Amino acid sequence: MAPASLAQTQLAYMNSVDWLRQIELLRPKQKDPNERPWVSSEVRTVDLTTNQLTVSHPPIPSINMPAMTMTLPVQDTAHLRMLKPGDKVQIQAAEVDGAVKIVNVRMQH
């Protein structure tokens, strides 16, 4: 019997509580937004008309991005006006609706 069909057979004979627990273990885990790594970066340009930052950053493994300087849209633009080229910041980047975006920015101390 193939491993997938063995698992299906085992699930068929479980009570509802055990079945729900097992299904939860098999379900792909969603990444918690709070678990995104903060990456030290340097602001190169700030574009207030398009709500984008150009930042120089090290590799960001969580989104498979190598170290580079790149222009990215900023999801939360509340503090964008306070940034200027040369500022040291920390960013959290994520894939949102099929595009990589900066989802959080904070000044680096």
Q: Encode pLDDT of 70-90 as tens digits.
A: 999 999 898 899 999 999 999
- The 88-96 sheet, strands edge to edge: 68-73, 52-57, 39-47, 88-96, 99-107
pLDDT at residue 69 greater than cutoff 80: yes
- The pLDDT score that the predictor gives to residue 31 is 55
Q: Are 20 and 11 in contact (CB under 8 A)?
A: no
23, amino acid identity:
I
Quick one: pLDDT band at residue 104, thresholds 50, 70, 90? very high
pLDDT at residue 36 greater than cutoff 90: no
How many CB atoms are located within 10 Å of the residue 58 CB? 12
User: For the chain, what is the largest distance between any 2 Cα atoms, rounded to a whole number of angstroms?
Assistant: 62
Q: Which of 71, 29, 16 is nearest to 49 (CA)?
A: 71
Tell me the three state secondary structure of residue 34. helix
DSSP structural state of residue 51:
T
Distance CA 109, CA 95 (A): 26
Q: Please state the pTM of the whole predicted model.
A: 0.67
